[in-house]
Amino acid sequence: MTTAAPLTRIPEDTGAALSAQTTIVGELAFTTAIPVDASGDVTGDIESQSRRVLERLEAKLTAAGSGLDRIAHLTIHLCDIPTNKDAFNAVYREVMPEGTRPVRCLVGVAALARPEMLVEVTAIAAVRHQ
């Protein structure tokens, strides 16, 4: 008889989300980050939102015992790809140095959960062995 991998849900840090901040299944962490600031607001252009979303992603993965260097797959949901892709990619290159970049998928969307949001990312990452 096999046993199921343990599953841990880390609550969203704002307390207002409809899902867990991060879910860990076995040795994988699944998480999504949106570009909210400390007060829960979304402000700024695509460059500032890209930087904020990747900072939040890093914080969530660190809390889960992982990190940006452990991401296996990243999905980027981006509004208005022709206008925003280059600015997102410039920030991405700064935050994710060559050699640490995961497989990624860029998806163009008409809108995200909040009208002021321009980007959202979802990651699957390996958890570090303790």
Q: Decide: 42 and 116 in contact? Cβ < 8 Å.
A: yes
What is the helix (H) or strand (E) element at residue 89, kind and residue range? helix 81-95
pLDDT of residue 127: 95
Q: What is the H or E stretch that residue 91 is in?
A: helix 81-95
Given a cut of 70, whether residue 107 has pLDDT beyond it is: yes
- pLDDT tens, position by position, 10-63: 776 655 555 668 899 999 999 999 999 888 899 999 999 999 999 999 999 999
Residue the block writes with tokens 């460059």: 47
pLDDT tens-digit map of 49-91: 999 999 999 999 999 999 999 999 999 999 999 999 999 999 9
For residue 123, give the H/E element and its range.
Answer: strand 119-126
